[in-house]
Amino acid sequence: MDKKLSKIDVFSIVLGSIIGWGSFMLPGSKFLIEAGVINTTIALFIGALFIIVIQSSYYVMLSDHDDEGGEFSFTYKHMGKVNGFIVGWFLLLAYLTIIPLNGTAFPLVIRKIFGDFFQFGYLYSIAGFDIFLGEIILSNLVILLFAYINISGIKDSARVQNFIAITLVSLVFVVFTIVFINADKVRFAENYINNYQFDLSQVLRIFAITPFAFVGFDNIPQICKEYEFGPRTASLIAIIAVLIGATIYSVLNLTAGLIFSPAEAYAQDWALGTGVLMTIGRFGFVLLVIALAAAVTSGINGFMISTSKLMGSISNHGMVPSRYSFVNKNGVFSNSIIFATIISLIAPWFGREVILWIVDMSSLGAAIAYFFVCFIAFRITKSQIQKFLSGLGVAASAMTVLLLLLPASPAALGRESLIALGLWIILGGTFYWTIVSSRKKAGEKL
């Protein structure tokens, strides 16, 4: 029986990882209030173009290198263990935060259907967010379900992802079409069209998070040993998935904008869901909730795959304990999946606000990985066109890092995120020093 992934399998994993919790929640909490409809759409497609430029360097990487671990193992090969570890450590941050983020979003989905049924066992509040034992149990059950699916093998995981992705995309467009027919277009024009002005600072605020929004395309180098087609086909799949992802983000933002002004949207607990319920009733709302459930579960599934592949590769390179490179009878890094699961099970105890502070850093982690891949591709490629595109990727990645770190930037990380970033860097430095020291004492070659 063929265990390899088909083109459709890979496409579903990538697209399902791109369209996660954020595409449904960010219209009300960020997009409309910070950039409206038009500037958000411009930023998302500029971000998609940025990822497509980055993907040209990933094509160089996939042509040169077919090892699991993607950017980590590619950087390790060409720039040594220190730079490799930096890339791997920041990629782990990007991947690991998205699993519990989607896991803690699942109770929000259930809350919209069953009310406060799972809000029992109040524990405490962190940063204004109430934490209930019932919702922690629900989040953990969803994470454990997908851990089981992934331990069963990549093919089973992909089969589930295919169904989820088709359901997700179909329902998004059905809901948008019904809302568009029923919405007050005159009011929408008054809110977003008639007095529209292009605002670069608004565009940059949204552009800066596109590494987080589209990081799902990064599944392709992580699963490169699971499919048999070449880097050109893999790159085309990534580009198509990113463009569809940008379209879905924009359509969901437009759906919320058709119903609410920016201030009205920001005042809602879940602007998109509330607006759909108000406009087309419970049937449309249920369709949206099913789509959100599909987005949340596809994000958990896709990034559990990527986390296990990355952790297994780092272990194979001797930079974390060897037990994480263990491959079970189904051909997956089962101990790495267990590691990702344990971290993801702990995170909901800190509440969504704390997770969101950490998630804000995931764009930075992804941008750092993009920078290294583009820099190495620029050095090793012989094609002048590829060299030009890789150079653009280096510049765009560096700009994204600066947008997130410079205090004067409109997209600068908040204080809490910077503190969490500092702790992650200290933890990584300590971890690396400990591993290197123990290997030197054991007389192992570094």
Q: What is the DSSP string of 277-326?
A: HHHHHHHHHHHHHHHHHHHHHHHHHHHHHHHHHHHHHHHHTTSS-GGGG-
* SS (HEC) of 111-172: HHHHCCCCCCCEEEEECCEEEEHHHHHHHHHHHHHHHHHHHCCHHHHHHHHHHHHHHHHHHH
Token pair belonging to 163 = 């169904």
CA distances from 432 to 41, 50, 104, 425, 436 (A): 41, 31, 30, 10, 6
Compute φ and ψ for 130, nearest 5 degrees: -80, 135
| φ, ψ of residue 238 in degrees (nearest 5) | -60, -45
- Domain boundaries 7-441, corresponding CATH code: 1.20.1740.10
Give every CB contact of residue 427 below 8 A, 6+ residues apart in sequence. none
Owner of token pair 């890094």: 333
Q: pLDDT tens per residue, the chain (446 residues)?
A: 345 788 999 999 899 889 887 888 889 888 999 999 999 999 999 999 999 999 999 999 999 887 778 899 999 999 998 999 999 999 988 888 888 878 887 787 787 777 788 899 999 998 888 899 999 999 899 889 888 888 887 777 788 888 888 888 999 999 999 999 999 999 999 999 998 999 999 999 999 888 878 888 888 988 888 888 889 999 999 999 999 999 999 999 999 999 999 999 999 878 998 899 899 888 888 888 888 888 888 888 888 888 888 999 988 888 888 888 898 888 888 999 998 899 889 888 988 777 777 767 778 888 899 999 999 999 999 999 999 999 999 999 999 899 889 988 887 888 888 888 898 899 888 888 887 777 777 666 55
Distance CA 10, CA 6 (A): 6
pTM assigned to the model? 0.87
Ordered by start, the domain boundaries in the chain are: 7-441
Rg (CA), the chain: 21
